[in-house]
Amino acid sequence: MQPDKPFIHALENRRFFIRTGSTDFRWGIDMLAACAVATNSDAALSGAVFVFCSKSRNQLRFLFWEGTGWWLLTRKILTQRFMWPQQNDDNISREALFEQVRSLAADPGEYRTKALRACSQLS
């Protein structure tokens, strides 16, 4: 990762695993890590990114192993919903789904900028 790039850019070139259907977002990092290891233990411990979607489809969680521990990042959008397959044979294009996830990793988007502006106006 280059020092002048945001941390999220560290995910750009990693393998991604998408968990279809909704995930209970009350689950903590340990339960999500158990899901990742059960899916593919080699990939989970070599830095692959496992992506989970909330029932309301307005939040994604990115889980990945780095060095000596797990990272869990949450992305929440306020006005739209993520397209998300409910099962493996859904008609959502696999390429479109991965492109959506990778674009979030590459560019966190306008909501972060709006939040930073709102916070700077409060101080």
pLDDT at 46 over 70: yes
The single-letter code of the amino acid at 18 is I
| Structure-block tokens of residue 26 | 């009350």
Is 78's pLDDT higher than 80? Answer: yes
Report for 48-62, 67-81, 99-113: range of highest mean pLDDT: 48-62
Confidence of residue 55 (pLDDT cuts 50, 70, 90): very high
Rounded distance, CA 30 to CA 74, Å? 15
Give the pLDDT of residue 120. Answer: 57
Lowest mean pLDDT among 3-7, 14-18, 39-43, 78-82: 3-7
Mean pLDDT, residues 78-99: 73
